[in-house]
Structure 1
Amino acid sequence: MDNTPWLTNHTGGSNFILLGFFHLSKDPIFLCVVIFVIFLMALSGNSILIFLIHSNAHLHTPMYFFISQLSLMDVMYISVTVPKMLMDQITGAQKISVPECGTQMFLYLTLGGSEFFLLAAMAYDRYMAICHPLRYPVLMNRRVCLLLAAGCWFLGSVDGFMLTPITMTFPFCRSREIQHFFCEVPALMKLSCSDMSLIETLMYLCCVLMIFIPVIVISSSYSLILITIHRMKSAEGRKKAFATCSSHMTVVTLFYGTASYTYMIPISYHNPEKDMVVSFFYTILTPVLNPLIYSFRNKDVTGALKKRLNVGPFFQEATK
């Protein structure tokens, strides 16, 4: 009996080839530099936000706890794809082994799924803060926040554990060239010579779990928030409520909109170039936009940053 793994029989080798999108650009070197700068901005912006939240007692609230979790996910999320993509462009080696491809797929599915549920948890937190302000410290205590965050990470990993093994065990007999800059599920499905109806159905069900359910939570939370804001007599209270909610809704729109296109549209309607542009937006641009949205539009975060900058040795000497 032949015990040779299916992979050797159907792929003709142990590696995939990531074609990426640098070849689509007239100036790939410039594009590589731009992406590297974006990557550094995302890492530094999210890291600074995490540091400020954890080092400033004034920011030890449920809202900022969830923002720090979002920043942590974004740091990991962008690190899953961008370093490999940049190294491939610099070295000219576009190969990725099957274990590396599966690991990359599992991590970005887990992190993406976790972020879906975290955004829903953040909307629920805003609902509790605005609609039930007197009971908010009790209803959203530290234990509840930790449980919600742990639940988001767990549910995100369910997405990774469901889709990764099924996708990676399909026979890839058409080609080993992935028309993408990382191992995304729809891109690999295009390489398979078997019937894709089962995994398309499963992927759709996963999307219902990962996108539709959080969207219901977010929509319900903000519907109740809008009703509460409309009843507020204080103009300052309405302004503050809108400010905190608008930042979150901006992130939700950016992330859910692009991810829904990737995973809820049938594979036959996907175009490689368009897929890469959409994936570039939610895997690379969103992580760099999140800290900008939550910091520049937030007086508490900017105040904490100014405070940190003013307590350095130079400033301490200047104030003596």
Structure 2
Amino acid sequence: MANFTMSGFLLMGFSDKVELEILLAFLFLVLYMVALTGNIFIITAISMYSSLHSPMYFFLKHLSFLDLCYISVTVPRAIYTSFMHSGYISLGECIVQCFAFVLCACAELSILTVMSYDRYVAICFPLRYDIIMDASKCVHGVLGAWIGGIISGLMHTTATFSMHFCGSHVIHQFFCDIPQLLKLSCSNEYIREVGVTVFLSLVTLFCVTIIGQSYLKIFSTVLRMP
């Protein structure tokens, strides 16, 4: 079978019907512009007003920036594909899209974990909050989220595109989705990607557990207040 990793892939649009595909593309465009405007407004407001220069809003600003990047990785390309009726995506663009998608997803989960810890300290230890959540810890938390996202993106992207893709080069998704790419791989070449997925799933479970425990302790503390 031919190896299509040297040329590119063919992305499927939102629908097989042209009229429905254009309608959905317009809907996604409107929603994308609303999300873009909202996140830019949050980032601008937090940056401009000194009263919002606190750890909570510092993390919120970075979360909004990650949301902006997250939706910009896939949605504009999908809208372009629908309007131009051309789903071809080059290998390089597909690699960048996969890397950026995983990076933003993992970094956003890390930021949410740090934010849950910030709220836990603020409510459960209010007198020590300024000491525990100082500026250096906030910066380290954001840097850790970005570094973790970059490492996760590199692991997933390297494991995925080290495989050979045999047969059809059609991806049944509107972006380069890793599970869909695995379906195009030759037999027994996806073991490395499965190992990376299992490892990152455990990390995700760890983050979700921390978030859950933080908010459980917050609710418990609030309910005990007279």
Do these two structures clear the TM 0.5 threshold for a shared fold by scoring above it? yes
Which AA in structure 1 matches 2:137? V
Query: Which of 210, 216, 226 is matched with 1:223 structurally?
Result: 216
Distance in 1 (alpha carbons) for counterparts of 2:124 and 2:208: 19
Task: State the partner residue of 2:201.
Answer: 207
Shift of 1:9: 4.8
In structure 2, the gaps of 5 or more residues are: none
Distance in 2 (alpha carbons) for counterparts of 1:192 and 1:24: 28
Task: State the partner residue of 1:159.
Answer: 152
Displaced runs of 4 or more, over 3 A: none
Identity of aligned residues (%): 36
Matches within 5 A, 1:293-312: none
Write out per-residue CA displacement over residues 74-94 of structure 1, whole angstroms, 9 at most, x where no aligned residue: 111111111111111112221
Task: State the partner residue of 2:47.
Answer: 54
Is contact 1:25–1:31 with CA below 8 Å preserved after alignment? no
Matches within 5 A, 1:168-247: 168-195=161-188, 196-209=190-203, 211-233=204-226
Which AA in structure 2 matches 1:202? V
Distance in 1 (alpha carbons) for counterparts of 2:179 and 2:46: 37
Distance in 2 (alpha carbons) for counterparts of 1:116 and 1:191: 28
Calculate the aligned-residue CA RMSD, in Å. 1.6
Matches within 5 A, 1:233-312: 233=226
Q: Secondary structure at the match of 1:192?
A: coil
Distance in 1 (alpha carbons) for counterparts of 2:208 and 2:69: 23
Distance in 1 (alpha carbons) for counterparts of 2:120 and 2:55: 12
Query: Which of 114, 139, 148 is matched with 1:146 structurally?
Result: 139
Shift of 1:174: 2.3
Is contact 1:170–1:194 with CA below 8 Å preserved after alignment? no
TM-score normalised by L of structure 2 = 0.94
Write out per-residue CA displacement over residues 105-127 of structure 1, whole angstroms, 9 at most, x where no aligned residue: 00010010000111100100000
Distance in 1 (alpha carbons) for counterparts of 2:164 and 2:199: 22
Write out per-residue CA displacement over residues 198-236 of structure 1, whole angstroms, 9 at most, x where no aligned residue: 422321211211x11111211221122122112111xxx
Quickly say closer, same or farther: Cα 1:198–1:165, change in 2 above 3 A: closer
Distance in 2 (alpha carbons) for counterparts of 1:49 and 1:131: 27
1:28 aligns with 2:21: yes
Distance in 1 (alpha carbons) for counterparts of 2:158 and 2:101: 14
Q: Which has the higher contact order (CA 8 A, sep 6+)?
A: 2
Shift of 1:25: 7.9
Task: State the partner residue of 1:277.
Answer: none
Task: State the partner residue of 1:108.
Answer: 101
Shift of 1:191: 0.6
Task: State the partner residue of 2:111.
Answer: 118
Shift of 1:99: 0.8
Is contact 2:8–2:169 with CA below 8 Å preserved after alignment? yes
